[in-house]
Amino acid sequence: MVGTRQQVWILFALIMVLGFISGSIFVDHLPGTWPAKYWFERFRTHLGLDLQGGSHLVYEADTSEVSFEDAEIAISGVRDVIEARVNALGVSEPVVQTAKVGERLRIIVELAGVFDVNDAIAQIGATPLLEFKTEAAAPEPVPVSAEERAKREQSNASQFKKAQDSIQKIIGAEGQNFAELATELSEDPGSAQAGGDLGFMRRELLVKEFGDVLYGELAGEGETTLEPIETEFGYHIIQRLESRTVTDDTGFEVEEVRARHILFRTQSLEGDVPDYQPWVQTELGGKQLNRSEVQFDSYSGAAQIGLQFDDEGARLFEELTDANVGKRIGIFLDNNLISAPVVQNRIPGGEAVITGNFTIPEARELVERLNAGALPVPINLVSQQTVGPTLGTASVAKSMAAGLVGFALVALLMLGIYRVAGLVAVVALVWYAAIVFSFFKLIPVTLTLAGIAGFLLSIGMAVDANVLIFERLREELRLGNAFGHAVVVAFDRAWNSIRDSNMSTLITCLILAWFGSSVVKGFAITLGIGVLVSMFSAIIITRVFIEFAGRSRWLSKQKWLWGA
C-alpha cells in the first residue's frame, strides 16, 4: 500500500491536510486570519444535559379514559402544545418527542441550560386549554386633535428625513454596512438585533407596499431601495438579500425572498384605534367537545375537519353560530389561535365541519390539536433527571482535566516504552483526537459525561493498535530484519489482530447504541467512533510517519530507539 517514495509523500500531504481540517474544526476559536475561519467555527460542540445543566423529563399519557387509537392522535397534539409552551420558555434547542413503549404513550422533553425547572414542569404538565371565542367589534378610531396631528406630521417628516439620510449613508461614498446601521437605527424590535434580517418571506405575508417593492423593483441581490418605502408601519429601507423557490404544502412552487430592512416608525394621522380584545370569551371549550376527526367532503373529496360536541356543547355551539353568522369563530389552544372558520349559518345538533383548502397533513394537524384539548388524556411526569448548571460546568472542567491527564499519562508511557515509535504514536494520537472531535462536531454527537468517558477509553484502545504494531516491529527488528522490511511485516501481521480485536468492541457498541437509554447511547457512540478512527490512525497515520522517520538512515539503524 505504501510503497514508493512518491506515494509516501502524497499520503503525508493528505494527512497534513486532514490534520489541518480536523484541527480547525476541533478548535472553537480560530485566529482572525485563519482561512475559512467562519466555516470552521460554524461547528459547535453539543453538550449533553449533564454537562450544561438541564432537565430530561418523561411524561406518560393516562389513556384510561379514551381508546388507545384516540389517545395516539391526541398525544401528537399534546406534543405540539408542549413544544409551543417550551419554546415560550426561551430554552435553546428544546427536544419534545413522543415515544411508544408497548402500550404506553410517552412524551420526552429535554430542556437544556439555565431556567426555572419547576416552572417549566408546572407549565408542561398542565392540560391544554381549548377555547372557542367570538369576534369582537373593533371600536371606532379616536380622532386626533389638530394640534396633535401637526405634531405627528412633523415627527413623521423627521422620520422620513432620517430614512433618507440613512439611505445616503448606505449607497453613498461611505458605504456604511447595512446590518450595522439596522442594528443601530431600526425601530423594528423583531429584526434590529439580527441586522435587520427578516429571513425568507413569501409575498402574500407581506404588507402590500413592502411586497411590491421587494418582488418588483429590487431584482438583484444586495440591491437597496433608493427612497424610503412608506407602509402603515412607517418608512422602510429594504435590501434584498437572496431568493429561493420552495414547494408549499399544496405542491405549488413559490418564491421566497430574504431581505433586511431598517424601519423608522410613523404615527397615524387618521386617529388611534384604542386597544381592545379582538376575541370574546365564550362558555364553549374543550370540555364540551367530544372529539374531532378528519373527514372528506362527499362531493369534492376535499379534506375537512369534523367536530362533535356533547349535549351542552351542541346547545352552546348552536347559540354561538346563530349569533355570529358571517363572522369568524376563533378556536384557541393554550391561547394560540389555531383556526378561525367563518360561520356560514346556524348549526344545531352538535356536529359541525370546518371546511377550507386543507391539505390532509394540515387537516390532521388541526385535528390533533383539537383532540389534544378535547380528549381527556392527562400526562404524568414519570421520570425526571435534572442537573444544575453549576454541577454541569464543574463536570466539563473535570472531564477536561481528566482528559488532559489521561492523555499525558498515555504519552509518557508510550515514549517510555517505544521511544521514537512512541513519539510517532503520540503525534498520531493528537491527529486521532482532532479527527474524533471533528466527527463529534460534524455529526453532531451530543457529549455527555459517559460519552467523554467513552472517548477517553477509546484513547486507551487507540493506543492498542499502535502497541500491536510496535510489538511486531520490535520482534522483527530483533530478528535482524532491515528496518524497511520490518515495518512492512509488522503492519501486515498486526492488521489481523487489530481488525479482529476491535470488531468485538464495535459489536458491543452497536448493541449498546441500540439499547436505547440516552446516557448509554452517548457512551457507545463516542467509543464506537473512537475505535473506528483509531484503526485508521494506527494503520495510515502512524505508518506514514514511521516510514518518514525510517527515511533517515541513522534513525532506522538505531534499533533501541524503536523499542527493540
Partner 1 sequence: MQIIKHSNIYFAVSGLLVGASALAVAVFGLALGIDFTGGSLLEITVDERIQADIASIQGILTRADEQGAKLLDSVQAQKTGEAGFLLRFRNVSEEDHQAIIGRLNTEFASQLPENERSKEAGSEGAPAGVSGIQATDFEGNPINIEVGTADGGVIESPVITIGGESLVVEDRFESIGPTIGNELKQKSIYAMIAVIVSIILYIAWAFRKVSDPVSSWKYGITAIFALVHDVAIPVGVFAVLGAVAGVEVDILFVTALLTILGYSVNDTIVVFDRTRENLSRDHWKHEFEWIVNKSVNETIRRSVYTALTTFVVLLAVYLFGGESIKHFVLALMIGVVAGTYSSIFLASPLLVAWEKRGRR
C-alpha–C-alpha distance, residues 166 and 147, integer Å: 29
Q: Which stretch binds partner 1 (CB under 8 A): 7-15, 16-24, 240-248, 382-390?
A: 382-390
Peptide bond into 444 cis (omega under 30): yes
User: Rounded to a whole number, what is the distance in angstroms from the first to the last CA of the chain?
Assistant: 25
Q: Minimum Å distance from CB 12 to partner 1? A: 26
Of all helices (H) and strands (E), which one includes residue 339?
strand 336-339
Q: Minimum Å distance from CB 55 to partner 1? A: 9
Distance of alpha carbon 461 from the chain centroid: 33
Q: Show contacts with partner 1 in window 179-208 (CB under 8 A).
A: none
The alpha carbons of the chain give a radius of gyration, in whole angstroms, of 33
Q: Which stretch binds partner 1 (CB under 8 A): 158-166, 167-175, 307-315, 398-406?
A: 398-406
Q: Which stretch binds partner 1 (CB under 8 A): 130-138, 209-217, 404-412, 433-441?
A: 404-412
Please name the residues in contact with 83: beta carbons below 8 A apart, sequence gap of 6 or more: 94, 96
Which residue shows C-alpha cell 384539548?
373
| Single residue of 502, 526, 534, 556 touching partner 1 by CB under 8 A | 502
Q: Minimum Å distance from CB 494 to partner 1? A: 9
Report if residue 336 touches partner 1, rule: CB under 8 A.
no
| Single residue of 250, 268, 503, 551 touching partner 1 by CB under 8 A | 503
Q: Of 561, 303, 316, which Cα lies nearest the Cα of 415?
A: 561
Secondary structure of 84-147 in the HEC alphabet? HHHHHHCCCCCEEEEEEECCEEEEEEEEECCCCHHHHHHHHHCCCCEEEEEECCCCCCECCCHH
| Single residue of 467, 490, 540, 541 touching partner 1 by CB under 8 A | 467
Q: Minimum Å distance from CB 457 to partner 1? A: 7
Q: Minimum Å distance from CB 449 to partner 1? A: 5
> Looking at this protein, which amino acid is placed at residue 468?
L
| Single residue of 21, 508, 532, 548 touching partner 1 by CB under 8 A | 508
The grid coordinates listed for 84 are: 409551543
Q: Show contacts with partner 1 in window 48-67 (CB under 8 A).
A: 50, 58, 60
Report if residue 477 touches partner 1, rule: CB under 8 A.
no
Is residue 456 within 8 Å of residue 497, measured between CB atoms? no
| Single residue of 17, 401, 442, 479 touching partner 1 by CB under 8 A | 401
Report if residue 500 touches partner 1, rule: CB under 8 A.
yes
Our CB check for partner 1 shows the closer of 186 and 448 to be 448
Q: Of 438, 436, 443, 291, which Cα lies nearest the Cα of 376?
A: 291
| Single residue of 17, 402, 479, 482 touching partner 1 by CB under 8 A | 402
Q: Show contacts with partner 1 in window 510-529 (CB under 8 A).
A: 511-512, 514-517, 519-520, 523-524, 527
Q: What order of strands is seen across the sheet that includes strand 329-333?
A: 279-285, 130-135, 329-333, 336-339
| Single residue of 7, 92, 97, 118 touching partner 1 by CB under 8 A | 118
Q: Which stretch binds partner 1 (CB under 8 A): 78-86, 296-304, 328-336, 445-453?
A: 445-453
Q: Minimum Å distance from CB 556 to partner 1? A: 22
Q: Show contacts with partner 1 in window 120-179 (CB under 8 A).
A: 121-122, 125
Secondary structure of 452-482 in the HEC alphabet? HHHHHHHHHHHHHHHHHHHHHHHHHHHCCCC
